[in-house]
Amino acid sequence: MTNRPRRIGVFVCHCGTNIADKVDVEALAEYAAGLPGAVSARTYQYMCSDPGQDLLKQEIEELGLNRVVVASCSPLMHELTFRRACEEAGLNAFNFQMANIREQVSWVTEDPDEATERAKRAVAAAVYRVAHHAPLEVKEVSVQPASLIVGGGIAGIDAALRIADSGKKVYLVEREPSIGGYMAQLYKTFPTLDCSA
């Protein structure tokens, strides 16, 4: 971890009405701006949109942010989007942290006051966490794209066929003299009455 003072920017997404209908986004941003290391906190309708990403890049450059938190949806949706935006503004992509205040807060909390409190806790955790992030480098290493499947029952056979169908090499290892597992010992299977073998 470097000793440079943390300059953390927090961006709170409305996600249209998805977040803003439940979470008081302005109160959340005001709270976030007072967290240790935070130098700015903004709200925006759709942080993942091009103008949202431009806002993030602009603030990184203008305010000299060295850490970024986006409070929005699940990282599964847009972590890569925001990491890329950070990188395009000259910030290491890993000096970024997402707080999921949609799937984990607004979508699953009935009471708006409670949702806002939960969102504050999620954002505080993200701000504390990102302060400890160290810049990382992405390295590419070659891998052997083959799979080993232990057990040639129906599950192993099916997995092996699916992987093989995608063009990858598969090694299927079975400890018994023949494959098939339990299925091979049955006559017909419920409910389709297919021949098991």
Ligand X SMILES: Cc1cc2nc3c(=O)[nH]c(=O)nc-3n(C[C@H](O)[C@H](O)[C@H](O)COP(=O)(O)OP(=O)(O)OC[C@H]3O[C@@H](n4cnc5c(N)ncnc54)[C@H](O)[C@@H]3O)c2cc1C
183 binds ligand X (CB under 6 A): yes
Q: Minimum Å distance from CB 166 to ligand X?
A: 20
33 binds ligand X (CB under 6 A): no
173 binds ligand X (CB under 6 A): yes
8-state DSSP, 82: H
162 binds ligand X (CB under 6 A): no
Tokens encoding 41: 């906190």
For residues 81, 54, 118, 97, the Cα torsion angle rounded to the nearest 10 degrees is 50
148 binds ligand X (CB under 6 A): no
Q: Minimum Å distance from CB 193 to ligand X?
A: 9
194 binds ligand X (CB under 6 A): no
Q: Minimum Å distance from CB 173 to ligand X?
A: 5
Tokens encoding 154: 């129906």
Q: Is the peptide bond before 191 cis (omega within 30 degrees of 0)?
A: yes
The SS3 of residue 44 is strand
Distance CA 79, CA 45 (A): 17
Q: Which lies closer to ligand X via its Cβ, residue 134 or residue 193?
A: 193
The contact set with ligand X (CB under 6 A) reads 150-156, 173-176, 181-183, 186, 189-190
